Amino acid sequence: MTTRSADAVVIGAGVIGCSVALELARSGRHVVVVDRGPAAGAGTTSASAAIIRYSYSTPDAILTAWEAAAMWQAWADHLGGVDPDGMATFVECPNLTFRTTNYEPDDMLARWREYGIDHEELDADALGHRFPALDGGRYFPPKPIDDPAFADDPDGRLTAVLCHGCGFVDDPMLAAKNLAWAARRHGATFRFGAEVVAVDRDEVVRGVRLADGTSIEASIVVNVGGPHSAHLNRLAGVTDDMTIGHRPLRQEVFVVPAPPGTGLDEGGAFVADVDLGQYFRPHPGGSMMIGSTEPDCDELVWVDDPDDNSPYPTVEVWETAMLRFARRVPDFRVPNAPTGLASLYDVADDWVPIYDRSSLHGWFMACATSGNQFKNAPIAGRFMRSIVDAVMNGHDHDADPVSFTGPRTGRTIDLGAFSRRRTRATTTNSVLG
C-alpha cells in the first residue's frame, strides 16, 4: 500500500470542489483533490444549466448569490489570471419570474431593494408588451399532461418580476477546469480515476483510502462528492448529529430550438415559471434549455445508488416538459424525439446547501449543492476556507457560527444558515430554492 500525505484532501473535482481546492491552496496548504471521474467538472457540473440569479427565499442565500455574481463577472480577477486552455464566460440574460398562487416574492424583493439588485415589476400588460412570445395566462397549479384540466383556459393573467444583471456561464465544465488550473498554480494536485473507499479516523480524521490501495494522510478532508457525498458522510460516520439530510435526485434537462421571439439575441430571458412547474433559458446559437421546478404533481425520482443512473432522458418526462413549454410559448413546435440529458442532483431536505464542519474533527462538508449552487461556486470555496480556518484553530462553529463579510457589499453572511444542524429552512422546496 502506498501512503501519501497532504494538509487537506478535497473529495470531488466539480465546480465547487475545485473552488474549495483553490481557496485552501491559497491559504498555503498542500491540497490533494481526488475524483473518481476523468477530469475536472466531468460529473454533474457538466450537466448544469449554470444559471446566475438572485431569486432565493432566504436573506443569506440572496446575498450569497449576489456576492458570487460579481466574481463570475470578473472571472479572470477571481482566478488570478487567464487559463491558457480557455476561459468560461458569463453571458448576461435577465431573469423573468412569474408571480402566481403560492409564489409571491415580496420578501425577496425587499432584500433586492436593500442590496441594490436592479429589477422592475411588470403588470400583466407590461409583461405582454415586453415578452409577446409568452402566453401570460395563469394556469396554476401545475398539472400532469394526462389531467383533463391541463388544457383548461387560463384563470386570469400573470404579473412578473424582471431582474437585470443575471445570466449564465456558457460552459460549466470549463469553469471547473479554470478553477482547477488556478488551484494548481497554488500547488494543488489532482488525482482522477481515484475513488475513496474508506475514511481513516479515530477521535479525528486521519485521511482517506482509495480503491487502488493508496492512502492519503491529512488532518483536513472536505467532502464535495456531489451525488456520492451522502455515502461519503456515512463512510466517515458523521451523520449522527445532522438534522438536515441529503440524497441524490434524478433530474432531466432538455435542449430544443428556441421559438421565435425567445432567443438570446431577441431579448429572451431566463424564465422561472412556477405557475406551470418549469424553467427555461435561451443559449447562444439559437437553442433553449428546459427543466422542471419540481411541482407537487410530479413524482420525484430519488436514487439509492448514484452509480445506477441512466444519462438518457425518458419519453414521459420529455413529453411533460414539451407540452408545458408549448402552453407558455404558443409558437413552439414539439420535436420528434427527446434531446437532452439526465443527471443527479445532491439535494438537501430543504434545498439549501450544507457548508459546514461535522461531528468528526477535520471532516468538512460542502454538500447538497446540486441544481441551484453552481452560481455560488466562487464564494462557496471562500465559505469553506473560512469555516476550515476557524475550526482548525479551535473555534466552535456550531455554538458560534462563523460570519463571512461579502467583498461586494461589505455585508455579513451568517454561515450558520448552511449548517448541517439547522432548522429546516422555508423555501420553495425546488431547484429555484
CATH number of the domain that residue 154 is part of: 3.30.9.10
For residue 104, the model assigns a pLDDT of 84
What is the per-residue pLDDT across 291-332, written as a single tens digit (0 to 9) for each? 999 999 999 999 999 998 888 999 999 999 999 999 999 999
State whether 163 and 176 are in the same domain.
no
Quick one: what percent of the chain has pLDDT higher than 70?
97
State whether 256 and 342 are in the same domain.
yes
How far is CA 122 from each of CA 47, 139, 158, rounded to the nearest angstrom?
32, 18, 9
Question: Does residue 413 form part of some domain?
Answer: yes
* Nearest by Cα to 126 from 150, 99, 158, 79: 158
Provide the mean pLDDT of the chain. Answer: 95
- Of the candidate ranges 13-27, 163-177, 418-432, the one whose mean pLDDT is the lowest: 418-432
- Name the DSSP class of 150: G
Confidence bin at 103 (pLDDT 50/70/90): confident
State whether 95 and 46 are in the same domain.
no
What is the per-residue pLDDT across 196-216, written as a single tens digit (0 to 9) for each? 999 999 999 999 999 999 999
User: Residue type at 57?
Assistant: S
* Nearest by Cα to 170 from 264, 56, 243, 90: 90
- How many residues are listed for the chain in this entry? 433
Question: Does residue 427 form part of some domain?
Answer: no
Q: β-pairing, 95-99 with 270-273?
A: parallel
Based on the structure, what is the number of domains in the chain? Answer: 2
Higher pLDDT, 337 or 154: 154
State whether 23 and 151 are in the same domain.
no
Beta-carbon contacts of residue 340 (< 8 Å; ≥ 6 apart):
252, 253, 254, 255, 290, 313, 318
What is the end-to-end Cα distance of the chain in Å, rounded? 44
Which of 346, 361, 389 corresponds to the end of one domain?
A: 346
Which of 300, 318, 346 corresponds to the end of one domain?
A: 346
- Name the DSSP class of 264: G
* Strand, coil or helix: 270: strand
Confidence bin at 433 (pLDDT 50/70/90): very low
Phi, psi (degrees; rounded to nearest 5) at 378? -60, -40
* Strand, coil or helix: 234: helix
**Dist. CA 9–CA 4, nearest whole Å:** 11
Other C-beta atoms lying within 10 Å of the C-beta of residue 323: 16
For residue 372, the model assigns a pLDDT of 77
Question: Does residue 316 form part of some domain?
Answer: yes
How far is CA 89 from each of CA 125, 166, 182, rounded to the nearest angstrom?
34, 13, 16
User: Residue type at 166?
Assistant: C
What is the per-residue pLDDT across 211-228, written as a single tens digit (0 to 9) for each? 999 999 999 999 999 999
Instruction: Give me the domain span that covers residue 357.
Output: 3-87+171-245+350-418
Largest CA distance in the chain: 70
What is the per-residue pLDDT across 356-387, written as a single tens digit (0 to 9) for each? 999 999 999 999 997 779 999 999 999 999 99
Sign, CA torsion 92/93/94/100: negative
State whether 59 and 191 are in the same domain.
yes
State whether 256 and 339 are in the same domain.
yes
Sign, CA torsion 291/167/408/59: negative
Quick one: what percent of the chain has pLDDT higher than 90?
90
State whether 268 and 340 are in the same domain.
yes
For residue 426, the model assigns a pLDDT of 60
Question: Does residue 76 form part of some domain?
Answer: yes
Which of 303, 322, 346 corresponds to the end of one domain?
A: 346
- Name the DSSP class of 300: P
Report residue 112 CA to chain centroid gap.
Answer: 20
What is the per-residue pLDDT across 411-431, written as a single tens digit (0 to 9) for each? 999 999 999 999 986 655 555
Other C-beta atoms lying within 10 Å of the C-beta of residue 196: 24
Report residue 2 CA to chain centroid gap.
Answer: 35
State whether 263 and 396 are in the same domain.
no
State whether 78 and 219 are in the same domain.
yes
Report residue 94 CA to chain centroid gap.
Answer: 18
Beta-carbon contacts of residue 240 (< 8 Å; ≥ 6 apart):
359
**Dist. CA 64–CA 47, nearest whole Å:** 22
Cβ atoms of residues 250 and 344 within 8 Å: yes
Question: Does residue 430 form part of some domain?
Answer: no
The C-alpha cell at 312 is 438518457
CATH number of the domain that residue 390 is part of: 3.50.50.60
State whether 14 and 142 are in the same domain.
no
Question: Does residue 178 form part of some domain?
Answer: yes
Beta-carbon contacts of residue 180 (< 8 Å; ≥ 6 apart):
13, 18, 21, 33, 40, 41, 188, 190
State whether 143 and 279 are in the same domain.
yes
Question: Does residue 232 form part of some domain?
Answer: yes
State whether 236 and 259 are in the same domain.
no
**Which neighbouring-strand residues pair with 169?**
90
Mean pLDDT of the 111-140 span:
97
Question: Does residue 64 form part of some domain?
Answer: yes
**Which neighbouring-strand residues pair with 200?**
207
Confidence bin at 1 (pLDDT 50/70/90): low
For residue 212, the model assigns a pLDDT of 95
